[in-house]
Structure 1
Amino acid sequence: MPSKSSARIAALTVAVVCSTATAVVFTGSAQAEAVAVHDIQGSTRTSPLAGQQVTDVTGIVTGVRTYGSSRGFWIQDPAADKNPATSEGIFVFTSSTPKVAVGDSVKVSGTVTEFVPGGTSSGNQSVTEITKPTVTVESSGNALPKATTISGHSVPRKYAPTGDEGANGSVNGLPLKPRKYALDLYESLEGMNVKIGSSRVVTATDPFSELWVTVKPWENPTRRGGTVYGSYDSQNAGRLQIQSLIPTATQPFPTANVGDTLKGTTEGPLDYTQFGGYTLTARTLGTVAEGGLERETTRKQSRNELAVATYNVENLDPTDDSFADHAAAIVKNLQSPDIVALEEIQDNNGAKKDGTVAADETMRKLTDAITAAGGPAYEWRSIDPVDLADGGEPGGNIRQVFLFNPERVSFTDRAGGDATTAVGVTKANGKAALTASPGRIDPAAEAWKNSRKPLVGEFVFRGKTVFLIANHFASKGGDQALHSQNQPPVRSSETQRHLQAKSVNAFVKDILAAEKKASVVTLGDINDFEFSETTKLLEDDGVLYPAIKSLPESERYSYDFQGNSQVLDQILISRSIRKDGDFSYDSVHINAEFADQISDHDPQVLRFRP
Structure 2
Amino acid sequence: MTMTSWSMSITDIQGVAFQSPYSGGLVYDVTGVVTAKDRYGIWIQGESSDDPRASSGLRLYGNAAHSANVGDLVSISGRVAEYRKAPNDLFLTQIDRILSIKTLSSGHVVPPLVLGRDRTPPNNQFSSLDIGKDGWLSMPNNRTLLEHVNATLRPEEFGLDFWESLEGQLVTIKSPTATNFQDRFGSLWVYGDWPVTGKNERGGLTVHFKDGAMPPAHPEAIFIGRALDGSRNPPVVMGAKLSDITGVVTYQFGFYYILPLSAPEILQYPSFDVLPAPFNSSVHPCQIRIGDYNVENMSPRSHHIPKIAAHTANYLHAPDIVFVQEIQDDSGPRNDGTVSANKTLRALSDAIKKASGGVQYDFVNVEPLDNKDGGAPGSNIRVAYLWRPERVSLIPGTIGNATVGTTAVTGDDGNVVLTFNPGRIDPLHDAWEESRKPLAAAWQTSSGARFYTVNVHFSSKRGSSSTQGDARPPVNGRAELRTSQANVTATFVGSILDLDEHASVIVAGDMNEYAATRSVLHPLSARLLDINDVARVPAAERYTYAFDQNAQEIDHMFVSEAVAARGGDVEHVHVNTWAQSIAERASDHDPTVARLWVCDTAETASDFVVQKWGAEYAPRVQVVL
The verdict on a shared fold, with TM-score over 0.5 as the criterion, is: yes
Is structure 2 residue 576 aligned with structure 1 residue 598?
Answer: no
Pick from 74, 92, 111: which aligns with 1:146? 111
Q: Is 1:86 the counterpart of 2:54 in the alignment?
A: yes
CA distance in 1, matches of 2:462, 2:66: 34
**Hey, what's the Cα distance between the residues in 2 that align with 1:210 and 1:507?**
44
1:198 shift after superposition: 0.6
C-alpha change, 1:40 and 1:407, in structure 2 (3 Å) is same
Greater alpha carbon shift after TM alignment, 503-512 vs 487-496 = 487-496
CA RMSD of aligned residues (A): 3.3
Matching residue's letter, 2:253? Q
Q: Does 2:353 correspond to 1:383?
A: no
Matched residue SS, 1:280: strand
1:430 to 1:140, Cα distance in 2 relative to 1, 3 A: farther
User: Which amino acid in structure 1 is aligned with residue 52 of structure 2?
Assistant: P
Is the aligned partner of 1:169 residue 2:160?
A: no
Structure 2 residue corresponding to 1:128, chosen from 93, 103, 120: 93
AA in 1 matched with 2:425: I
Alignment partners' CA distance in 2, 1:546 and 1:164: 26
Distance in structure 2 (CA, Å) of the matches to 1:388 and 1:107: 62
1:403 alignment partner in structure 2: 386
CA distance in 2, matches of 1:345, 1:400: 6
Per-residue Cα deviation, 1:269-305 (whole angstroms, up to 9, x for no partner): 1122335x22222123332212325323102132223
Contact map agreement 2:44 2:168 (CA 8 A) in 1: yes
> 1:558 Cα shift?
1.9
2:306 paired residue among 302, 314, 324: 324
Partner of 1:308: 290
SS at match of 2:348: helix
Does structure 2 conserve the Cα–Cα contact (< 8 Å) formed by 1:257 and 1:293?
no
Moved more, 95-104 or 254-263: 95-104
Q: Distance in 1 between matches of 2:99 and 2:19?
A: 22
Change (3 A) 1:359 1:580: closer
Change (3 A) 1:471 1:51: farther
Match 2:248 to one of 269, 280, 283: 269
1:217 Cα offset (Å): 5.0
Unaligned runs of 5+ in 2: 132-141, 599-625
- CA deviation after TM superposition for structure 1 residue 431, in Å: 0.9
Is 1:50 the equivalent of 2:26? no
| Matched-pair contact (CA < 8 Å) for 1:224–1:258 | yes
Structure 2 counterpart of 1:274, one-letter code: F
Alignment of 1:220-299 (within 5 A): 220-231=198-209, 232-245=214-227, 251-263=231-243, 265-274=244-253, 277-288=255-266, 289-298=268-277, 299=279
Q: Give the structure 2 partner of residue 501 of structure 1.
A: 486
SS across alignment from 2:456: strand
Q: Does 1:607 align with 2:580?
A: no
CA distance in 1, matches of 2:305, 2:54: 53
- Structure 1 residue 392 and structure 2 residue 375: aligned? yes
Match of 2:507 in 1: 522
Tell me how far apart the structure 2 counterparts of residues 116 and 390 of structure 1 sit (CA, whole Å). 36
Residue of structure 2 equivalent to 1:586? 571
2:537 is equivalent to residue 564 of structure 1: no
Give the conservation status (yes or no) of the 8 Å contact 1:504–1:538: yes
Q: Which residue of 1 aligns with 2:402?
A: 419
Change (3 A) 1:139 1:97: closer
One-letter amino acid of the counterpart of residue 262, structure 1? L
CA distance in 1, matches of 2:171, 2:441: 55
| Aligned residue number for residue 208 of structure 1 | 185
TM-superposed deviation, 1:307: 0.9
Structure 1, 48-57 or 317-326: larger mean CA deviation: 48-57
Which one-letter code corresponds to 1:41 in the other structure? Q
| Secondary structure at the counterpart of residue 330 of structure 1 | helix
Q: Deviations over 1:385-420 (max 9, x none)?
A: 223322233443321121222332223463352222
Deviation string, structure 1 residues 291-328 (Cα, Å, up to 9, x no partner): 32532310213222311111112223355422222111
In 2, Cα distance between the equivalents of 1:314 and 1:64?
42
Q: After alignment, is 36-45 or 127-136 more displaced?
A: 127-136
How far has the Cα of 1:503 moved from its partner?
0.5
184-193 or 153-162: bigger deviation: 153-162
SS at match of 1:244: coil
Q: CA distance change for structure 1 residues 450 and 96 in 2, over 3 Å: closer, same or farther?
A: farther
1:203 aligns to what SS in structure 2?
coil
Distance 1:107 1:449 in 2: 60
* Structure 1 range deviating more: 463-472 or 476-485: 476-485
2:185 match: secondary structure: coil
Q: What pairs up with 1:94-109 in 2 under 5 angstroms?
A: 102-103=70-71
CA–CA distance in 2 between the matches of 1:607 and 1:439?
A: 24
Deviation at 1:588, TM superposition (A): 1.6
Give the gaps of 5 or more residues in structure 1: 1-30, 67-71
Q: What code does the residue aligned with 2:151 have?
A: L
Distance apart, 1:112 and its partner CA:
4.2
Per-residue CA distance 1:325-350 (angstroms, 9 max, x = gap): 21111111111111111112233444
The two structures have a TM-score, normalised by structure 2, of: 0.81
Q: Shift of the alpha carbon at 1:187?
A: 0.5
Q: Is the 8 A contact 2:42 2:66 kept in 1?
A: no
Offset at residue 242 of structure 1 (A) = 1.8
Alpha carbons of structure 1 residues 526 and 46: separation in structure 2 relative to 1, 3 Å: same
- With over 3 angstroms needed to count, the CA separation of the structure-2 counterparts of 1:190 and 1:315, relative to structure 1, is farther
Whole-angstrom CA distance in 2 between matches of 1:282 and 1:548: 39
Q: Which residue of 1 aligns with 2:607?
A: none
Deviations along 1:77-128, one digit per CA (max 9) or x if unpaired, are: 33444442222333445599978765566666665443445x32x4x42323
Give the superposition deviation at 1:33: 6.8
Distance 2:206 2:66 in 1: 40
Aligned to 2:609: none
2 CA distance for matches of 1:168 and 1:372?
53
